[in-house]
Chains A and B, each alone.
Chain A
């Protein structure tokens, strides 16, 4: 017979006494109906992101010299058109092309403010989250309105940005079939599983205002199925996780690979293997991601593939968060040897060529929440800085091999639970290949979450 510590027996006596007065022997509530959560099954939340931004020059990365001497190919292959970002969506201040130039479909969405200081309604967002009371099912939709001035009388983006859009950013059902396991299966349109930057995609979750220069490859939503599984390793305070998805379009943002439908009939596979170390005051998360499948911007051919590899790290101590990510991208060209280029369909429209493309780069960000003598629930001030570098190459075009970097610094002021005020300055630099251009940006954002 195994001896039982006396204190256990003593506690048992006390619990017997409590039982007589209404509490259950295990100490939990006898009134089960009042014991469980009273949270409503349907929760509707959302946010409004209002910004104010000013970009240098005309708000693009195209140099004025392109007006007189255009590059030997689509101008968006020779600069980084995503660099003068103004908001959390990664929209550029402008994507207005040099006169007479034709884009190659490597453009971000445009806010259409050019170099003019402007207020912007970046996003009005509504999230619906339904948790079935009796079943392990969650339904989630995220609907966004993006109001933009559109001037159809002029060429794309000269005065206006993209047209106003009603954007169903996510819509999926998630089932957790096994109560005793951290396993979730989602079906629908959902966030990427590649890397970590998708976790901060929304303005009300992002500490800064703008995404990194690599976000265009890793933070898109697509339609398909994904499976998440995590296993805890208690003895070493750790966990490993696997997030796997098979989707129509991979992980590029919708401006680059927009259609929710599969253009090739074959899915893109993506996965992230993660490791977490969770100590009392330190959390370290490491991940390795990969994606492979057909390019989903090829509207005629199906053979061109895309391949992404990435590693990521996050280190969190109570007030300091350091995060970084390295991504390597390879996209095969869609045109067959010796044949005419095949057309491409991106989120911003049709383009003449599925061009071969390579890129790699990294970003690293540090954010420190200042220890102010104020209630953090009411007032939080976070300073952050990010450095990033991106190298891109279109081998089919001489000179379209560029390297740029960016230094970003800003502050985030949290007022209460719902309001964030953010401001940052982006220093964009053309390190190699790309023509020098003044495309630094000051941008700010007030995000109200309701």
Chain B
């Protein structure tokens, strides 16, 4: 913290003051806020490596912290929340920094119209970070719900998505997850199934040596990323809950699923069918399970006690036949055997 304060006071503080005096337009980015790493510090000895690493860490902390504040001040509450959320996920963050940022982060989220983060989505929060505001008043105990999915037909239960919706009271709204990526490699989407809370932005990345497209005609989450070269990325925010089938307009054989759930309590089953959902408050829930081979979503009411709920047995169907058609981005049918 001292280092950050020193940076704020010495390295940036003066410039900050000057910047404030100059009263730049709200949208202007001050010159004192750095945006590039690594720092141009010479590395000649092993000590230099450690020094440079520490300096860059403090530089990063400073810029996320101060950059978030500048964004907040100019009314960009989403941007501010994003920077501060990234900051709070840094391992070993000084608790004083977290304490300073957390109230403002809550405020930024509220102003941005985003719900406060639930505990399960703060798994990467610093060790000594203070509890979010919503947890200051009677904090419900968080437990684990785990079990095994069976079924899914010949493909097995792997990739099933399980989520919980509170029945006895309004559960918290989910906070968008960070750094969700789907890559395209060897004419395959990886992962094949991605479970996310609604509102999450997913980055699509072409890691193949050939060109790809990503699109979905699943309304209202439909989109078209256009044709993308190797290394190109595209970000899509899934603002509505639902199952979104992903396809490639170039390669009719490629497909994958994004399952956007309106709950902070969700998991994707492993190949064995095992799943675990952490940080679930006790209560009554509707457990829903989706699988790409099932024609319908399985529902089941469960009660999560103070010790959680373990050894849940969930069965998903395997009755859904492969689709006879592969649509192109206009919904027109393609014949997959043609390969184009």
Asked if B46 is at the interface (CB within 8 A of a chain A CB), the reply is no
Q: Is the CB of B89 within 8 A of A14?
A: yes
CA distance A304 to B200 in the complex (A): 65
Is residue A27 contacting chain B, with contact meaning CB distance below 8 A?
Answer: yes
State the Cβ distance, B36 to closest chain A Cβ, in Å. 4
Selecting from A28-36, A52-60, A80-88, A347-355, the interface stretch reads A28-36
Is B239 on the interface with A (CB-CB < 8 A)? Answer: no
Chain A residue at minimal CB-CB distance from B37: A9
> CB-defined interface of A1-17 with B at 8 Å, one 1/0 digit per residue?
10111101111011111
Is B191 touching A28 in the complex (CB atoms < 8 A)?
A: yes
Residue of A whose beta carbon sits closest to that of B255:
A37
Q: How far is the CA of A24 from the CA of B286 in the complex (A)?
A: 30
Q: Which of B133-141, B178-186, B301-309 contacts A (4 or more CB under 8 A)?
A: B178-186
Map CB proximity to B onto A175-200 as digits: 1 under 8 Å, 0 otherwise.
01001111010000001000000010
With A33-B270, A184-B339, A316-B332 known as contacts, the answer to whether A27 contacts B249 (CB < 8 A) is no
Say how far B193's CB is from chain A's closest CB, in angstroms: 7
Set B40, B63, B89: member contacting A13, Cβ < 8 A: B89
Judge if A153 is at the interface, Cβ distance under 8 Å: no
Q: Would you call B271 and A31 a contact (CB within 8 A)?
A: yes
**Pair count A-B, CB < 8 A:** 193
Which of B60, B91, B153, B203 sits near A10, CB closer than 8 Å? Answer: B60
How distant is A225 from chain B, measured CB to nearest CB, in Å?
15
Task: Judge whether B156 is part of the interface by a CB distance below 8 angstroms.
Answer: yes
**Given the known A-B contacts A34-B159, A39-B155, are A182 and B210 also in contact in the complex, defined by CB atoms under 8 Å?**
yes
A11 to B178, CA, bound (A): 9
A26 and chain B: residue at smallest CB distance:
B181
Decide: A35 and B191 in contact? CB cutoff 8 A.
yes
Tell me, yes or no, whether B26 is within 8 Å of chain A by CB: no
B319 vs chain A, min Cβ distance (A):
13
- Return the CB mask of A229-259 against B: 1 if under 8 Å, else 0: 0101010010101000000000000000000
A398 interfacial contact with B, CB 8 Å: no
Q: Which of B180, B224, B322 has the most CB of A within 10 A?
A: B322
Give the nearest-CB partner of A23 in chain B: B179
* Residues of chain A with a CB closer than 8 A to B36's CB: 3-6
Instruction: Find residues 220-257 in chain B having any chain A CB closer than 8 Å to their own CB.
Output: 224, 226-229, 249-251, 253, 255-256
Sort chain A's interface into a size bin. Answer: 35 or more
Report B193-213 residues with CB < 8 Å from chain A CB. Answer: 193-194, 203, 208-211, 213
The 8 A CB mask of B124-147 against A (1 = contact, 0 = none) is 100000000000000000000000
A131 to B320, CA, bound (A): 19
A278 sits at the interface (CB 8 A): yes
Interface residues of A in 29-68 (CB under 8 A from B): 29, 31, 33-40, 43, 45, 47
Closest-CB distance, A274 to chain B (whole angstroms): 9
From the candidates B64, B228, B340, name the one contacting A228 in the complex (CB within 8 A): B340
Pair B178/A138 contact, Cβ less than 8 Å: no
Interface pair A316/B124, CB less than 8 Å apart: no
Measured CB to CB, the nearest residue on chain A to B63 is A6
Judge if B106 is at the interface, Cβ distance under 8 Å: no
At the interface, yes or no: A417 with Cβ under 8 Å from chain B? yes
How far does the Cβ of A4 sit from chain B's closest Cβ, in whole Å? 5
Q: Do residues A43 and B335 form an inter-chain contact, with CB atoms below 8 A?
A: no
Contact among A37, A138, A180, A228 for B188, CB-based, below 8 A:
A37
In A406-441, the 8 Å CB interface with B consists of 417-418
> Given known contacts A17-B89, A18-B124, A38-B155, is B340 in contact with A241 (CB within 8 Å)?
yes
For residue B31, CB closer than 8 A to chain A, the reply is no
Q: Give Cα A369 to B217, complex, Å.
A: 15
Contacts of B249 in A (CB 8 A): 278
- What separation, in Å, do the CA atoms of A339 and B90 have in the docked complex? 92
Whether B210 and A181, one on each chain, are in contact in the complex, defined by CB atoms closer than 8 angstroms, is yes
Which residues of A sit under 8 angstroms from B270, Cβ to Cβ? 31, 33-34
**B13: interface (CB < 8 Å):** no
Interface flags, B262-286, vs A, CB<8A=1, else 0? 0000001111000000000000000
Q: Which residues of A contact B203 (CB under 8 A)?
A: 27
**Also in contact, A278 and B64, with CB within 8 A (given A38-B159, A180-B210, A184-B340):** no
The answer to whether the Cβ of A280 comes within 8 Å of any Cβ in the partner chain is yes
Bound form: Cα–Cα A174–B339 in Å? 9
Q: B91–A16 contact, CB under 8 A? A: yes
- In the complex, B45 has a CB within 8 A of chain A: no
Known A-B contacts A28-B190, A36-B188, A43-B322; A21 and B210 likewise in contact (beta carbons under 8 Å): no
Which residues of chain A are within 8 angstroms of B331 by Cβ–Cβ distance? 369, 376, 380
Identity of the chain A residue whose Cβ is nearest the Cβ of B218 in the assembled complex = A377
- A13: chain B residues at CB < 8 Å are 60, 86, 89-91
Separation of A318 and B64 alpha carbons in the complex (Å) = 42
B311 at the A interface (CB under 8 A): no
**CB <8 Å contact, B210 and A33:** no
Query: Does A449 touch B at the CB level, under 8 Å?
Result: yes
Tell me the nearest residue of chain A to B157, going by C-beta: A34
**B251 CB to closest chain A CB, in angstroms?**
8
| Residues B178 and A14 in contact, CB atoms below 8 Å apart | yes
Judge whether B339 and A28 touch: CB under 8 Å. Answer: no
Q: Are A28 and B227 in contact (CB under 8 A)?
A: no
- Find out whether the CB atom of A39 lies under 8 angstroms from the CB atom of B190: no
Check A36–B192 contact: CB distance below 8 A. yes
Contact of B226 among A35, A127, A237 (CB under 8 A): A237
Check A167 for interface membership: any CB of B closer than 8 A: no
Report how far A376 CA is from B180 CA in the complex, Å. Answer: 29
A283 proximal to B (CB < 8 A): yes
Residue in A9, A36, A316 whose CB lies within 8 Å of B330? A316
For the complex with contacts A28-B182, A129-B337, A450-B324, 7 further pairs of A-B residues with Cβ separation under 8 Å are A5-B37, A10-B64, A35-B191, A40-B322, A180-B208, A232-B250, A278-B249
Interface residues of A (CB under 8 A from B): 1, 3-6, 8-11, 13-18, 20-21, 26-29, 31, 33-40, 43, 45, 47, 127, 129, 131, 138, 140, 170, 174, 176, 179-182, 184, 191, 199, 202, 204-205, 228, 230, 232, 234, 237, 239, 241, 278, 280, 283, 316, 318, 321, 369, 375-376, 380, 417-418, 449-450
Sorted nearest first, the 8 A-B pairs with minimum C-beta distance are A27-B181, A38-B155, A17-B124, A34-B158, A29-B191, A3-B36, A33-B271, A180-B209
Q: List 30 A-B contacts (CB under 8 A).
A: A3-B37, A5-B37, A6-B36, A10-B64, A11-B86, A14-B89, A14-B179, A26-B181, A27-B180, A28-B182, A28-B183, A31-B158, A31-B270, A33-B271, A34-B269, A35-B191, A35-B192, A37-B256, A38-B292, A39-B155, A43-B322, A140-B337, A180-B210, A232-B210, A232-B211, A232-B227, A237-B227, A241-B340, A321-B330, A376-B219
